[in-house]
Structure 1
């Protein structure tokens, strides 16, 4: 059945591509025996189909890159390697960072920057770091308990648009689901993710945070020139995400569907991967979860939440089609 889907997808059958993508999200290892056929048919997109690529597949992709590929194929091949996360893929991307492969000069980013698409990065000390966790839970939007952060009459407001700041998430690392989903962040205690519901749609908004639940607007945030003016304050959502059932796969977040908001796991990016650089050190920030617009107010787009524990920052950015 999967071989037939591969052949149909290679022939631009969108339904087959969707079915393969569903397998990649639910049980990526099921596609491993079929990667050779995918490469034979030049089926390189979506790159997430190669999440569970084995050594043989990764070697074939590396050989194609080293042999030279047109710009579109090179972009797709690098994405395949990033999504595989395989140690050989990591070594190749490191090598190409200093010895670019043929055609790399036409890419928009360097080869090693592609790692972020697969949810990992190389830190300044040269070590690999996973930006995402391997366990995910549904994030259910619920009315918050009385006394939550930001409930006081003198709520903090956004310095850019004067809207009340939005507490997008309150994470208690004393709860098992939070610890299990976000172990990769290194956090303990409480983590409050505070932002502007309106302005985060136009720029990444950073906050300084402490393990006792403290959160404050980072003074270094810079409003973009295209931020709408004079639209008046906007009331943020009254709902707060709470962990629900564990998802069967870390790849089951959805930026499109109702019920797709997810704690931990891997994000579904609407556009390119965008793990913000930490304002304190420049390293890529760890991913916390996704809140879909369809779960907030039946809207589109999604908010992506991040943190960097060593420097004490959170970030919220947004994508839409």
Structure 2
């Protein structure tokens, strides 16, 4: 399944009082995420010889639940779930389910479908997601990278996908659906599913983080990361990849800087560059993660587009992204 990666982030205290230098990127990449467990995205009825049945609904499963185990077997893919259900042939089984970060067990039996003879749970499940986003930064010393500036959530349930594994891959932007007020635009492109540039270690509300296989994959001039106190309203620029693999710098204006936000809307910006307005109409889906620069420092990343104002969007502070990357690495 392909998702548009642009839609929030606890403003953590800075883990490091000294400014940190990273390379701002703005490159489009493919992002592949494989979930920890399988996510329930819907419930359904199964036609059996005895009539309609829904074991998932009967045992209390809900949309947004994550099934991590069937009996003692860990499951992380749709294929694993299907195999276990066929092997059990309708025997009673215990499901371990994560709901609102709490683990619980429910007991049920799969029902045999009279149409194809397969044993089914009566739940639509998802185990992976993929799409195009924008790399925000890379640490030239460690190869640590951050992208998106927000987490990858399931498109049906809005639940943050729990990461088991994932990777970023090369991508190229083939076209743009221009945004207009009331209808967000989007970047359209393709990415390689066979060549990985780096592996993911965290999918968080403040961004997706990982390590490059080769820290020298992306080159550029490191810049300091601005502290929250250094970010101000006024002129700034963003780096964006809206055609092919070419990254260009465009002018924007930071309209507001918010304090003590509970999501990734730390600042509001407006695109002022006529070139970008002509190409995209402003902020579009797929630009999530585009780095925001001001006064020679990385101040943040684009995260959201304002639906009613296509030329405007929100951004997260880069300091908050780096703090979250460090916190996730230490847990």
TM-score, scaled relative to structure 1: 0.25
Which structure has the bigger radius of gyration? 2
TM-score, scaled relative to structure 2: 0.24
> With CA pairs under 8 Å and 6+ residues apart, which has the higher RCO, 1 or 2?
2
Whose strand fraction is larger, Structure 1's or Structure 2's? 2
